[in-house]
Structure formats: C-alpha cells, structure tokens
A and B are shown apart, each in its own frame.
Chain A
C-alpha cells in the first residue's frame, strides 16, 4: 500500500478532528436537549438519593424530561460545578449552599427564579438571595451554627448550660481534664470548621468584615477600623482562652470535630446543623440522650450564622425544563421524606412546614423534640454571611470565606501565638489586596 504525504496530512487532520468532535457534539447536544436536565446535588445521603430517584421517575413519566443526577459531595460540589461551566457544559440545576451559589450569580450565571418562588408559595425574606433585582435562589432548607453539649457532664458538676462568653469559658474550664476530656473544641486551622466558628463568634460580638459606603454604593473593608477592630481582637483573644480548654485541633476538619465529641473526648462542641447528633446516635448511642443543643455563647448579639441550601438554576441551558422540575419536586408529596433523610439536620426553609404534623411525624424528631423546639426558638435570628454587613448582597464575602481566612486567623492566634491586633490588620490587608485584584 502506498501512502502519499498529502494523504498522511489529511489523515492526521481527520484523526485530530475526530478526537475533538465528541466534545463539540456534547456541548451542542446538551444545549439543545429540551428533554433532559442535569442536576447536581450536594446531598448524597442514600435516603435522599432514593427520594430523588422516585421523584425523578415521576417527573419523567409526566413531562418526558429525563433528570441526570450527579452527587459529587459537599467537599467537591463547587469544583464540579466550576469545571462543568469552564468546559462549556454547565448543569441545569445545582442544589447546594446559597453562599456558594452567590459566586455563580455574580458571574451572571444564575437565572431569575422569582416565578418559581411565587408558584411554590414564596419564601421568608432572610432566606432570599437577590442579585441585580432578581431572586437567584430557591431555598429549601437551612442550618444554623450552634453548640452541642453533654448534659450529663454538666449536671454532674452542677453547671447550667452556658449562655454568655464568661459562662462558656467557666463551664469549659470546669469540665476540662486533658488528655482524657477537654472542655470544648476550638479548631484552629485553615478549614471550614475553624472558619465558621470565628465567623459565628464575630457575629455574636457584632464584628463586621465590611461596611456599606452609601456614597460609593459599595462595600469597604471595616475589620481593622475603630470598634470593629477592637471587637475582632477581643473575639480572637477570647477564643484563644477557650483554646486552652481544647485539644490543639490544628488539623481539625468537620469529621474530626464530630469524632472528638462522639468518642467522648470533649464535653462541648458545635456544628452547622444536627449532623453531629446524627453521628452520636449512630456511633455512640450511650451519650445520645445526653447530647443537647445550645447557642454558641453570645456577647453583643444573638445572631446565628445561617447556611441556606436551595435549588439554583443556571441561565445557559434548559432553563424551562429546570424550572418545571424544581416546581414539581417541591410540590411532590414525597418531598417530606427528603427532609427526613437526615432528620433535624436538613430543616425546612418554611417554618410552617417545621411546625407541621407531617414533618414531625418521624421517630427521631419525635424523640428529640427538644432540638426541634430549640430550632424553632432561634428561627428568626439567622443571618447569611452575604447579608451580615448590610442590606445589599455583599459580593466580597468569597474573598475571605472561600479561602478560610477566619480559620487562618484562629490558627495564627492559637497555634502560632501571633498577637490578635496584628492578625486583624493583616487579614484586612489581605482582603483589600484581593479586592483590588478582582476590581
């Protein structure tokens, strides 16, 4: 067989085109397919997946639209969404934290979902995420950051559940007997667990990262100014005192935070929601009844760090199909089983639903009505980070939150021993530098 050079070049070019064609075809096909939606969900609990399967099958039967699911998990979902967008094949729906979804809104990737919200009965004001005058999130559930403590250990020492900073420190000291038992846990690492602890405690002490400049109509860094700086330093110093009653915790992530409490190494801990209780029930039922919720200690405010999860619809592909699906999902009778997948952890966005007999008709919830009552009592006190510094959506929170800057601050104070004032000044400087880069 004779192969001319020209033929070879043609063959090589064809082979190259063939290798690239599938990618182009996938992008084109996905954009054009009105009978398919890609849905990425953060919740990968097997019970939740079973509910998705059931509702998706019903949806396909009724509308002919197939729902393709992906479950990358809590730690990877933002990366998965980012890489799909970068590849030009964005999903239609993402169910995850509204704080993470805000990054998409700022890049004009999220559709206006006001019509969906209206059709499912609206949403409480503190759960909305509004950008460029339109709702960008359909909240389904929420989680407060709060403490958990061992009732039995406090009772043995004749102590009351702590409410104020002084109380909390006193109880932590009284219960601490290292290395067998620590009074509390103050993770001090560049992790989500440390970051949310400091961000929550900043809220309790009314510390703001930014302030709204009405003239410039934008947020400016406030952390190192006047009273904010004073209170930020005070908060770091307080957590440094608490850290003395904690394991060193310089590598602690959420799993270690839970395992230390579950294995009875700490008398007080905290979590975003009730997953810690779920883990105690599953792995150490002996202390399950003695594990009770408590507010993280307050100083100037009773505000709670609020995480909101919901559906987010991307603006680039099958928007109508996605809206139909979300509406169908939220009105489906089995949606209650979805809320029951991790009972008391995924709590509904609607207070009416929380108080409904249908929601409360679950053995774990029935057994732990004290947790439900606690959640009901703090219902209006939650503030999402992006509205903590003002009424306008704060587009800059990712500059400190995504990088776990608050965790870095705690680690610098508790592990490296740096002075709080220098830490606050450096943190503010880092945020300003990033603001200049992002423009």
Chain B
C-alpha cells in the first residue's frame, strides 16, 4: 500500500465514526421524513400505505398551507429585520469606552440566554389584556381607553410575536455586530474625519460597508432559524387567534399531532425544507458569502 493510500485510509478511518454518527443522527431522520411523505400513515398505527404524490397534491391544494407560508415569511422578515435593527443600534451604543460597559454588555446578552418558555411567560404577563403591566400603563396614561389584546387580537398577535422574537434574539445580532465593530481599523475613521466626514457620513461610508458581511451572515442564519421557529410562537399563541400566527412549522405540527396524519405532516415539512433550500441557493448565488468574508478580512 502506498503512503498516499495509507494516509487516505487513515483519514477515512478516523472520520468514519463521526460520519456514521452524523448519518444516523441527522441524515437518516431527514431521509425517513422525506420517505414518510410518500405514505399514508396515521399516528396510531405503525403500518404505512404507499400513496405516491397524493400527500403533496393534497397539501399544495390546501389554502392553509399557502397562508401559513405567507405568515412564515412575514414573521421571518419582521423578526429578522427587528433583530438587525436592534442588534445594530445596541452594538453601536455598546461600542464605546465607558465605565461599567462590560456589565451592560453582559446584560444585553441575557435575553438570548433565557429559555423560550421563560420569555414567553414574561411576555404573556407583560402584555396580558387583563393583568398586563403594559396595558396598565397605557390605560393610566390615557393612551388607550380599552386594554389591547396583544396576543389575542387578530391585528396585533403577529406583531406581538415578532416583537417578542426580535427582543429575545436581537442579542445574537448585537454580539456579532459588536465583535465586527471592534475589528474595524480606527484609521479608517481618522481618514474619513480628516476628509471632513461627520458621524453620519462615517457611519454610512465606513461602518456600514464593514458590517455588510456580518449583517448578511446574521440575516441568513436568523432567517433560517426564524423560518423554522416553533416554540416561541406556540408557547404564546398556539398559532392563533384564528391562525393569525400559524406559521409553517405550526401548520406541520398540527397535521401531525392534531390530525394525527404523519404522512401529510412529513409532506409539509419537506415543502418547508425545499423552500429553505431554494432560499439558501438564491442567497448563495446573490451574495456569495465565501467571497464576502474574504473581502471582509
């Protein structure tokens, strides 16, 4: 055996356990879910019946699927947009040399460390129509005459959920943006100032171009995570009222555990997976993140 073959065998031998583990833990369930989408399978019977593309035909004709898809887009764009704005503003504020800033920075990260159930309960209490502090303040200051039903109102539920997700996950953006801000060469700002640039011009001409890569990466990662987000929404609204916050993951969950139709639920999940796959491909085509990161260096 040549040295090269021996080396290849070693590489394969040492990576094999991890690859097998990955295949069993990650790829096997994906393959199983995709396979399941071609079967009729109720939750209460292990037997499965081959139905070909019937499950896809059924859900693609369902207006509920498209409505859920649209809501997923609204939720994703709203929540990611809010996280980017929140992350950018807070990172700019934290990127200063002030006393006690380390403590403040830690406090900003706190929401990201909280379990979703804690955040959901806190927001439910804060925004409760009956007992919520926010409604109390709004009523006492005369801003509103009747308490607002934040999570239960048809027009307010989605925005309330977006606000909650924006608050909780904005800290992730803060962390990444702050790290990038601190890596920007101060000489760039000096040069800009010498050229007569004010703070706003410095922001648009120096800060923002340097943050471009980071913002794109955050948008991609958070976009995928928000599109797949289930727990935060489920905990506060269960997809209601009247499906106003029923996104694709909740739609698929309902098919599986309320209709107990695993085949249809698997088809819905596969559709979701394909949507994300197409989104990711478009993203890579448009932004080419590998090149972006190289430029960012």
Contacts and interface: CB of A to CB of B under 8 A. Distances in A.
B294 interface: no
Interface in A41-95: 78-79, 81-83, 85-86, 88
Contacts of B10: 1, 3
Given A2-B6, A247-B130, A107 B241 contact: no
Interface string A395-419: 0001000111000100110011000
A79 B257 CA distance: 6
Given A247-B130, A251-B241, A416 B259 contact: no
Given A2-B6, A19-B24, A247-B129, A85 B46 contact: yes
A109 interface: yes
A420 to B, nearest CB: 16
A15 B17 contact: yes
Given A250-B149, A437-B58, A415 B241 contact: yes
A31 to B, nearest CB: 12
Nearest to B42: A107
A238 B250 CA distance: 32
B224 interface: no
Contacts of A82: 43-44, 257, 260
Contacts, number: 120
Contacts of B12: 3, 5, 8
Interface string A222-265: 00000000000000000000000001111101000000100101
Main secondary structure of the interface of B (DSSP, over half): loop
A408 B260 contact: no
Interface string B119-131: 0000000000111
Contacts of B9: 2-5, 7-8
Nearest to A76: B257
B197 interface: no
B151 interface: yes
Interface in B238-262: 238-243, 254, 257-260, 262
Given A82-B44, A265-B130, A411-B240, A12 B19 contact: yes
Interface of B: 1, 5-6, 9-10, 12-13, 16-17, 19-21, 23-24, 41-46, 58, 129-131, 147, 149, 151-154, 237-243, 254, 257-260, 262
- Report the 8 A-B pairs with minimum CB-CB distance, sorted nearest first: A82-B43, A250-B152, A107-B45, A251-B152, A3-B9, A107-B44, A250-B241, A15-B20
20 contacts: A2-B9, A3-B9, A3-B13, A4-B9, A16-B24, A20-B24, A82-B43, A82-B257, A85-B44, A86-B46, A86-B262, A109-B45, A250-B152, A251-B151, A260-B130, A398-B260, A402-B259, A404-B258, A411-B240, A416-B154
